Amino acid sequence: MAYSEKTRQVFAGEIEEIRGKGLYKEKRFIWSPQGAEIEVEFPEGASREKVLNFCANNYLGLSSHPDVLKAAHDGLESRGYGMSSVRFICGTQDIHRELQDKVSAFLGMEDTLLFPSCMDANAGVFEAVLGTDDVIIADRLIHASLVDGIRLCQAAYDTFKHMDMKHLRKKLELHRDKRSMMVVTDGVFSMDGDLAPLDEMCDLCDEYGAMLLVDDSHGTGFIGKTGRGAHEHFGVIDRVDVITTTFGKALGGASGGCVSGRRELIELCRQKARPYLFSNSLSPVIVSATISVVDLLTKTTERRDKLESNTKYFREKITEAGLNVREGVTPIVPVMLYNAKLANDMSRDMYAEGIYVIGFFFPVVPAGAARIRVQLSAAHEVEHIGPREAARRREGSRRTGAARCAAPASSRRSVREPDDRGRARAGRA
């Protein structure tokens, strides 16, 4: 038997090691559509609980929106379920082209190429456009998929301290003899909710002749006055060279992603990016639904405005309640607790009270920087954020009194998403 007992023990040992490090991902089953209130079976086999959901990336509340469902049905009826082909053989329909054109217009970019996910977009873009004469200079807290994509590429790479523009300048200076330089950042960092200072980054890139790539998966659809993303927020829509983003979060939440940017770079991706060349086309169902989302967001800012208002309200109230929240404007609100057990216990207790949030602690975030990450949505109503406020306040005050008194200096460090060697990378849930 090929799968011997010895082999089984090797794998079982590795799983135990993951458990031992506190990194084991428990199974959680959702019995309802995605939304502000969901029905959860956790742990596996437990009775289902209706809980308020504060841990989805459903920022605009479109995952189960009737208009999106209708568009998905229309796509299914008019274009079928699957393409049974990669894009360049017989997997491109008129609606794939339509979505690419609409995303280009929405993001203010020259061209766009669809990928099965943003993970695939990030895995493909660097290798397609950069080579051994080039260098990639990346923020240290970029998403795991960017890290993987950079490692797949033959270009040299270097890193700069999280959002530290002096350090970025130093690295641009160090590598200015390369054929081309590409600076890489997240638009919104998923564990902190930080917005990368794209205006300053564009200035530096201009000064040193570097390109700028932004993964705006946690920003597309709602950051900026009309929701175009972090580049709109900083007034640099025409200065960012490449944006990678996902349809799996604010834009309907199913799956799919894209690379959008300078025409030649997109054409190179179309010719060379392996996840594009060797993966199936996005399903017509998803393409059709995503077109409807982009149309909706182009027509009205109502949902991103509601999300902004929910975010502001929640940030104000949670701060008034005495909890220490990482400052910012994004709907990712890390409530800093500084103590791993506290974060773990508090998320468990809040689940028992019907509030679904996740605690993060070392090695997922730096030692001493444990927190609960709250993600807001336009699907939340004030009563979702409001009436339970008192309970949360009681819970927060009781548990965090000590934590507030003595937050260690190390906890002020920027949160990094640990890597895949020795410290499991949290990834972007």
Partner 1 sequence: MDEMKDAILEYVADEYIDEDDEIELTADTALISSGIVDSFSMVSLRAFLEKKYDVRLPDGEATPDAFDTVNSIIALVQKHLG
Catalytic residues: 190, 218, 249
Q: Is 412 in the site for partner 1 (CB under 8 A)?
A: yes
Piece of the chain touching partner 1 by CB under 8 A; list 18-26, 114-122, 395-403, 404-412: 404-412
Q: Where are the alpha helices (DSSP H) in 1-117?
A: 5-20, 66-79, 94-107
Please report how close the Cβ of residue 171 comes to partner 1 at its closest, in angstroms. Answer: 8
> What would you report as the CA-atom Rg of the chain, rounded to the nearest whole angstrom?
22
Least distance (Å) between residue 423 CB and partner 1: 7
- Minimum separation from the CB atom of position 194 to partner 1 (A): 15
Neighbours of 301 (CB within 10 A): 16
Determine the residue type at 201: M
Closer of 48 and 140 to partner 1 (Cβ)? 140
Total H helices, total E strands in the chain = 15, 15
> In whole angstroms, what is the distance from residue 250 CA to residue 306 CA?
13
Tell the residue number behind the tokens 């270097």, with chain if given.
Answer: 158
Which residues make beta-bridge pairs with 375? Answer: 332
In whole angstroms, what is the distance from residue 243 CA to residue 109 CA? 8
Alpha-carbon distance of 415 to 130, in angstroms, equals 29
Give the residue with the Cβ less far from partner 1, 85 or 410.
410
Query: Residue 243: how many CB atoms within 10 A of its CB?
Result: 29
Closest separation between CB of residue 123 and partner 1, Å?
A: 15
Considering the complex, state which of residue 17 and residue 320 has its C-beta at the smaller distance from partner 1. 17
409 belongs to the binding site for partner 1 (CB under 8 A): yes
User: Judged by CB under 8 A, which of 14, 90, 408, 429 binds partner 1?
Assistant: 408
Rounded Cα gap, residues 331 and 222, in angstroms = 9
Secondary structure percentages of the chain, helix, strand, coil, to 5:
40, 15, 40
DSSP 82-104: ---SBIIIII--HHHHHHHHHHH
Taking CB under 8 A as the criterion, the residue among 416, 424, 426, 428 binding partner 1 is 416
Q: Compare residues 359 and 366 and give the one whose CB is closer to partner 1.
A: 366
Do 183 and 215 meet the contact criterion of CB atoms below 8 Å apart? no
Task: Tell me the C-alpha distance between 146 and 214, whole Å.
Answer: 10
The smaller minimum CB distance to partner 1, of residues 233 and 416, is found at 416
Contact track, partner 1, 342-381, x by CB under 8 A = --------------------xx--xx--------------
Contact letters for partner 1, residues 20-59 (x by CB under 8 A): ----------------------------------------
Please state, in angstroms and rounded to a whole number, the distance separating the CA atoms of residues 268 and 270.
5
Which of 20, 43, 387, 422 binds partner 1 (CB under 8 A)? It is 422
Which residues lie below 8 Å from residue 427, measured CB to CB, with a gap of 6+?
Answer: 143, 144, 145, 417
Nearest alpha carbon to residue 179 among 212, 152, 144, 155: 155
The yes or no reply on residue 270 touching partner 1 (CB under 8 A) is no
Count of residues engaged in binding partner 1, rule: CB under 8 A: 24
The interface with partner 1 within residues 168-227 (CB under 8 A) comprises none
Closest approach of partner 1 to the CB of residue 46, in Å: 33
User: 54 with 374: CB under 8 angstroms?
Assistant: yes
Q: Which one among 102, 140, 239, 404 touches partner 1, defined by CB under 8 A?
A: 140
Q: Which is nearer to partner 1, 208 or 313 (CB)?
A: 208
Q: Smallest distance, Å, CB 426 to partner 1?
A: 12
Nearer to partner 1, 69 or 367 (CB): 367
Cis peptide before 366 (omega within 30 of 0): no
Work out whether 299 is an interface residue with partner 1 (CB under 8 A): no
* Closest CB to partner 1 among residues 147, 403: 147
The least distance separating partner 1 from the CB of residue 422, rounded to whole angstroms, comes to 5
Give least dist CB 159 to partner 1, A. Answer: 4
Binding site residues, partner 1, CB under 8 A: 138, 140, 147, 156-159, 161, 362-363, 366-367, 408-410, 412-413, 416, 418-423
